[in-house]
Structures are given as C-alpha cells and as structure tokens.
C-alpha cells in the first residue's frame, strides 16, 4: 500500500479530486485530498504563493505523512515543488499532472503565454477581492474539451474563485526540481490545450524535472471529471516504484 496526497489545481479544491481518490483507494492505497489555502470556503483571496505552499507543508506535518507520493495538478505543480523544497524527507516521489514545473524565481505567469497573462489580469481586474475566475466558455472549450456540455457545466459549478496573487508570485527554492533527490514523474494528457498546443505542458515543462518517468494518456485538463478512472490508473503508474 502506498500513501498518496493529491494536490488540486487553480479554481479547484480537494473535493474535486475525491472521485479519483476513491478509485485509487479501491485499489488498496491511502489517499488524501487537502485543499490549498486560498481555495477553502471563507479563505481570503489575497493569499500568496508562499502561504499556499505552507498550508500543504503544515498538512503533511500535522498528519505525520511519510514516504508520500505527492501529486500536483496544474497550479498544484507550483505548490508541490515548494513543499518538496521544504520537507523533502516526507516525500517518496513527486508526480506532476499537466502541471507547472518552476525553477527558483519563476511564477505561473512567467510560464504562461503573454496574451493569456493579459486575459487573466483583465479578468482579475473585474473583481474586487483579489481573485480571478474563468468564464464558462473558456473552461468549456480549453479545459474540458473531452466532456459533453452537461459534464462541463457540473464541473464548472463546483469551481471557486482563485487568488490571483498566487499566479504572480515568484517561487523561492533552495533547490530546483531537476536537482531534487527524489523520484519524479510527469503525466501528460495529450488533448490538454489549457495552455495551448503551441506552448505545451510536455516537454516544455516536464524537461525541467531532469530525470523523470513520463506517462501519457488521452484526455483534457479536466480529466478528473471526464475520465476519473483513466487518471487514477495513470497516477498509480506514475507513482509505482
């Protein structure tokens, strides 16, 4: 039995990964799905990246997690990288699932196309609480393009506004991912166009891991809603010894 901690992406919460978690649990493993600070009910939307990372460090320490396979989806890649830099002794393997892989001094926006950055900043400017929320049309076409309209609408309805500052903040690391003494895997969903195919997740970001295991499967950025069984199996393959 392995111990998995699944870290969600922007606009999500731990609850959005529970179906995937239950499938992994059914295969005999221990799975946790914490929610990052800034995405919990009632959280301030002025949370920055360091606070978000620290919330998961605290979770691992409070639960006594050891020998853990930590999985980060999308923005969650920023978080698990920061967590590994602080408490690497608690982690067996890092699994990046269509996730950002930052080196020291990089932000989510630094790894995003300029016209997407401009669009995100414009959306954030429309709100007065420090958050940003995707329009449904963008979510439907770019994030969950392998799901029907009903599935897309149900998924969108459980999203929550995300703290924009976590996208702007540059991560501070003592060790870049390629030099971390831990196993690393990258799961690439081949129909994921959330970042556009001209600016792909893999190999643009995955190659920053140095030595890593690659798992590729068909699916969109939101495969956790459209094909949870497929991503559950990929996570197990990515996390195996």
Nearest residue to 72 via CA among 190, 200, 177: 177
Q: How far apart are CA 223 and CA 238, in angstroms?
A: 16
In this structure, the chain runs to a length of 241
Q: Which of 13, 55, 74, 220 is catalytic?
A: 74
Q: Determine contact, residues 7/70, Cβ cutoff 8 Å.
A: yes
Per-position DSSP letters for 154-206, written without gaps between them:
HHHHT---EETHHHHSPP--SS-GGG-SSEEEEEEETT--TT-TTS-STTTTG
Secondary structure (3-state) at 96 = strand
Q: Which residue is associated with the tokens 């003494």?
A: 181
Question: For this structure, is 74 an active site residue?
Answer: yes
Q: Which residues are catalytic?
A: 74
């Amino acid at each position: 039995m392995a111990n998995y901690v699944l870290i969600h992406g922007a606009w999500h919460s731990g609850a959005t990964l529970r179906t995937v978690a239950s499938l992994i649990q059914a295969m005999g493993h221990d799975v946790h799905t914490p929610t990052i600070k800034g995405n919990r009910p009632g959280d301030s939307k002025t949370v920055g990246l360091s606070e978000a990372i620290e919330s998961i460090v605290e979770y691992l320490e409070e639960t006594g997690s050891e020998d853990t396979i930590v999985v980060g989806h999308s923005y969650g890649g920023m978080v698990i990288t920061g967590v590994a830099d602080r408490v690497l002794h608690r982690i067996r393997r890092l699994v990046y699932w269509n996730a950002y892989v930052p080196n020291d001094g990089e932000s989510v926006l630094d790894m995003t196309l300029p016209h997407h950055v401009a669009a995100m900043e414009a959306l954030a400017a429309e709100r007065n609480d420090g958050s940003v929320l995707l329009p449904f049309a963008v979510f439907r076409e770019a994030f969950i393009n392998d799901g029907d309209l009903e599935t897309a609408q149900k998924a969108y309805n459980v999203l929550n506004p995300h703290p924009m500052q976590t996208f702007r903040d540059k991560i501070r690391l003592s060790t870049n991912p390629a030099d971390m003494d831990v196993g690393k895997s990258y799961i690439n969903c081949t129909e994921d166009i959330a970042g556009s195919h001209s600016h792909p997740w893999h190999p643009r970001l995955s190659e920053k891991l140095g030595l890593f295991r690659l798992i590729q499967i068909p699916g969109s950025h939101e495969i956790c809603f459209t094909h949870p069984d497929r991503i559950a199996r990929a996570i197990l393959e990515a996390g195996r010894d």
